[in-house]
Amino acid sequence: MMKRAYQYRFYPTPEQADLLARTFGCVRFVYNTVLRWRTDALFNERQKIDYTQANARLTAIKKLPELAFLNEVSCVPLQQCLRHQQAAFKHFFEGRAQYPAFKKKRYRQSAEFTTSAFRYRDGQLFLAKCAEPLAIRWSRPLPSAPSTVTVSQDAAGRYFASCLCEFMPETLPVTPKTLGIDLGLKDLFVTSEGERIGNPRHTAKYAARLALAQRRLSRKKLGSANRAKARQKVARIHAKISDCRMDGLHKLSRRLINENQVVCVESLAVKNLIRNPALSKAIADAGWGELVRQLAYKGEWTGRQVVAIDRWYPSSKRCSTCGHTLNALPLNIRRWACPACGCEHDRDVNAAVNIKAAGLAVLALGENVSGIGQVPLS
């Protein structure tokens, strides 16, 4: 059995929307208050605060008369946000993440409910302190009763419920087909068989609408209701771009996993590549890291293998026929002839063939096969 989150959109009643708004506000207030307290203790007193102390701090501040509003919402999301904060500090101290940041009101809001704070019965989901079930658009049934439910509201004002459930993955039948893919910008990726998947460039498609909405937002008075409406219009366009990108990546990753037993990819350092001021927008829009991440977990679910080769492997400069490696190969050169064997190569197809060969070699040697999780995805 494995765990998987199923996300659904729902439409709250005015009373539920008011309760959720207060819950989001309390979660944000508790997280930021305890984070300030822990930060002061860390930098002023050189003291590390653990979850037990943070939870005791929450109990203390809830007793203050001026903070009585914290008792009007469920206590579970408040405790869960402190658990998430503790995990963020753990990742920071172990060098895997940056220092925890304060939560902001205008970004995505969320609250996590455990089994003691919600009830799932007959296809209906009831949250704590809610008399009516959430009006969820059930696009597919849940495989089991959820263990946790995370309710969120994005910047565009949409509400989502993410249910964490246990499910039994279905292993796909073994197929002899293997594939290498070379990620790019002109084409999202090129396969070792010569197939080119064009880059949809979702940001460029909506660039004109986004620029118009942002200009209108910039002219609105600060703090006005019209500015809030204009900000939400901008957020809706960004949400549309993000949804289109995710939909395309999910379809492509599912197709690659369904058709191939082994998929060989590059382990690109997207965070480093995105520092290029000329290409950063295009790289971020392509979603390379998200595509590799989806391939990884979908391969694990279905019994397929996803192999990431070393990021320094010269896949583009190496001749896939004789193995000769060029000293340099500028980006503007898309086709080149090997000086050793004379074979002519398409840059991207040659790189995909080399990636496939290197991935299968890694698979045969048994090094870093079990987990693409060991390879940095960004």
pLDDT, tens digit, 9 for 90 and up, residues 197-253 = 999 999 999 999 999 999 999 999 999 999 999 999 999 999 999 999 999 999 999
Q: Are 368 and 296 in contact (CB under 8 A)?
A: no
Q: What is the pLDDT of residues 107-156, one digit of tens each?
A: 999 999 999 999 999 889 999 999 899 999 999 999 999 999 999 999 99
How far from 327 is each of 52, 267, 268, 330, 352, CA to CA, in Å? 57, 21, 21, 10, 19
Residue 353 pLDDT greater than 90, yes or no: yes
Q: What is the pLDDT of residues 261-271, one digit of tens each?
A: 999 998 888 88
Q: Are 228 and 151 in contact (CB under 8 A)?
A: no
Q: Are 246 and 291 in contact (CB under 8 A)?
A: no
Cα four-point dihedral sign 186, 192, 196, 201: negative
Residue 372 pLDDT greater than 60, yes or no: no
Q: Which of 15, 40, 290, 348 is catalytic?
A: 348
Q: Which of 182, 285, 290, 310 is catalytic?
A: 182
Alpha carbon distance 50, 54 (integer Å):
6
Q: Are 376 and 312 in contact (CB under 8 A)?
A: no
**348 noted as active-site residue:** yes
Residue 122: predicted pLDDT:
87
Cα four-point dihedral sign 39, 45, 47, 51: negative
The pTM (predicted TM-score) of the whole model is: 0.88
CATH numbers and ranges of domains, the chain:
2-167 (no CATH), 178-199+245-374 (3.30.420)
Mean pLDDT of the chain: 92
Collect all residues with Cβ–Cβ distance below 8 Å to 31 and sequence separation of at least 6.
81, 82, 84, 85, 102, 103
**182 noted as active-site residue:** yes
Residue 371 pLDDT greater than 60, yes or no: no
Q: Which of 187, 266, 346, 367 is catalytic?
A: 266
**346 noted as active-site residue:** no
